[in-house]
Chains A and B, each alone.
Chain A
Amino acid sequence: MIDFIDSFFQSIYNNLIAGNAYLFVLKGLWITLLISALGSFFGTLFGGILCFLRMSAAKILRTTAHLVIAVLRGSPVLLLLMILYYVVFAGSRMDAVIIAVIAFALNSGAHIAEVMRSALEAVDKKQNEAARMLGFSATKAFLAITLPQAGKIAKPVYQNAIINLVQWTSVVGYVAITDLTRTVNTIGSRTGDPFFALFLGVLIYLGISYAVYSLFSIGNKQEVAK
């Protein structure tokens, strides 16, 4: 038992303390969080636009959006990332992190667009009409009636999409970004103790996921209180 505790502390020292390794871990974590946060933000924005086009009255816009969504949803995000990095932006000096943000925004945007669309379609359309009959303009009725209800329906699925995105950011190491996954991998191979380092990585991702869940549930509690 004492041996185990001893080796555990030894592992912590080797992996995190020696050579200030924890700083690398924090830096990797920061990159992962950065890509996740910006990817989610722009993905949601892009998803909103795609969804709007997908539901537009003009058939050409609808079909185009449908096609874009189908392609983006149907292709692995890693391939998308590599295409952007090695082909599309190969000549530019754009930062790899920005390219990653673009890739994840595109991929998650397509998913989020469909989440939004199904949520909007699930809302009772007659409630919107009832609002119009009370004198609401089309925009006001959408904002006051349809959107809040669609938001509620979309929330659990949207939350999953975000957590999915966070986990998929672990592939950015392929385009030479030093994110959390790559950092723990590097540390593991340097110390020859991959078990500890990789397991630590899993724990941190788990922590992020829980943080995202609790972020969403803060909203829930306020709703109940209201």
Chain B
Amino acid sequence: MIHIQGLSKRFGKLLVLKDIDFQVREGECVAIIGPSGAGKSVFLRSIALLEVPERGSICIRETNITNKSVDINKVREKMGMVYQGFHLFSHLNVLDNITLAPRKVRKQSRIEAEQKARELLALVGLSEKAESYPHQISGGQQQRIAIARCLAMEPEIMLFDEPTSALDPTMTREVLAIMRKLTKMGLTMIIVTHEMSFAKEVANRVVYMDEGGIYEEGTPSEIFDHPRKEKTKAFIHQLNVFTYEIHSKGFDMVAMQAKIEVFCQKYQVDSRKIYHIQLVLEELLMVIFRKCYAETSPDMNLSIEFPADREEISISLHYAGQRFDPFQPDMQEEDQLGITIVKKITKESIHFADNGLNSILIKM
């Protein structure tokens, strides 16, 4: 259905897209993932010719839309684009947002367009918001309306440009639920996303973009569970492992704790467990600071990892300096309390030292 060959795009001197070949079959759902700045959005926008490529051809069915003779407005009628920032028409209410294009572009009557719009509102679960204005509804609701607005034109291809990146977790779920419905309807979809679990679940194919091109592609399990190439591996690894380095006693503990919280929420860890992880780290760090780094600045790093089964969380903590085992029995009283807490809420905690490097491994 979509057939792209040799696509290149340059912003000034920067080559953003390098000679990309890419195909999408009818009814396929492709997720595009990758680090920011990899050209994912530019690539997606090129498919609708919102970015004009420097070289290469983009064929939608049989038409090469990079041809000057092609009426791009007609091509876009059959494509829907959903943005990170929703971009509903702010001067129109929800119903008019949906009916505007069918009425003005496809010349449908108001009655016909409104009837279809109400069906779509029911589909996205927002029938009662028909008369509201965009600023009166939540981000998740706006995004669902934006999807309905696209569907009103009965598109063959839907493009999603990070549709949930501006939303909080609850609203993200609302929007993903609707997108899941669309895949079941057999729409051809290309989704640029940071929602890895969603990509894994709904996509037929996952494309990892890096270095201005398609770096690796495959089925969700090929990319997420068994990536073959180096950068893909690194990218997938950092999705599953949280790392943090500490080089001063005055480091920003609040920021670290917040990052840990965000990371854990991605894995649906409940808030009690997140609190426990934070507590364990805080207690350990304080004891280690006092014992090992009383006069020097700390040199430590920590990582939190979720294994595939997600049953147990493993935390590892490495710190350079004299040998110090916080779990030894003869601790002073002031430190004893913190360590008792740590022992109580972890399943397993061991310490070993090797070559001036202490390591603590914790499972919880």
A interface, CB within 8 angstroms of B = 124, 126-127, 129-137, 140, 144-145, 148-149, 152
Contact = CB atoms under 8 A, between A and B. Distances in A.
Interface stretch (B85-93, B186-194, B249-257, B353-361): B85-93
B74 interface: yes
Interface in B80-121: 80-81, 83, 85, 87-91, 100-101, 104-106
B328 interface: no
Contact of A130 (B73, B81, B91, B106): B81
Contacts of B76: 132-135
Contacts of B79: 133
Contacts of A126: 83, 85, 87
Nearest to B93: A226
User: Nearest 9 A-B pairs (CB), nearest first?
Assistant: A135-B77, A134-B101, A126-B87, A133-B81, A135-B105, A130-B87, A127-B87, A149-B91, A148-B91
Nearest to B102: A134
What is the interface residue range for chain B against chain A? 20 to 34
Given A133-B80, A136-B73, A124 B87 contact: yes
B150 interface: yes
Q: Is the interface of A mostly helix, strand, loop or mixed?
A: helix
Contacts of A131: 89, 100-101
Contacts of A130: 81, 83, 87-89, 146, 149
Nearest to B150: A134
Contacts of B100: 131, 134, 144
A192 to B, nearest CB: 57
B203 interface: no
B137 interface: no
Given A126-B87, A133-B76, A140-B105, 10 more contacts: A124-B90, A126-B85, A130-B81, A131-B101, A132-B50, A132-B73, A134-B80, A135-B106, A136-B105, A145-B89
Given A130-B81, A130-B83, A144-B100, A135 B74 contact: yes
A149 to B, nearest CB: 5
A108 to B, nearest CB: 26
Nearest to B149: A134
Interface of B: 48, 50, 73-74, 76-77, 79-81, 83, 85, 87-91, 100-101, 104-106, 146, 149-150, 153
Contacts of A129: 50, 87
A135 B105 CA distance: 6
A149 B90 contact: yes
A136 B104 contact: yes
A129 B83 CA distance: 10
A134 B87 contact: no
Given A126-B83, A129-B50, A130-B83, A136 B91 contact: no
A161 B50 CA distance: 37
Contacts of B87: 124, 126-127, 129-130
Nearest to A127: B87
Contact of A135 (B73, B85, B89, B146): B73
B189 to A, nearest CB: 15
A151 to B, nearest CB: 9
A135 B80 CA distance: 9
A134 B153 contact: yes
Contacts of B77: 134-135
A149 B81 CA distance: 22
Most chain A Cβ neighbours within 10 Å, of B74, B77, B90, B146: B90
A137 B104 CA distance: 10
B91 A134 contact: no
A140 B100 CA distance: 11
B354 to A, nearest CB: 55
Nearest to A135: B77
B47 to A, nearest CB: 11
A135 B155 CA distance: 11
B220 to A, nearest CB: 28
Contacts of A134: 76-77, 80, 100-101, 105, 149-150, 153
Given A132-B76, A133-B80, A152 B91 contact: yes
A120 to B, nearest CB: 14
Contacts of B48: 133
A149 B80 CA distance: 23
A130 B79 CA distance: 11
Contacts of A145: 89, 91
A130 B105 CA distance: 13
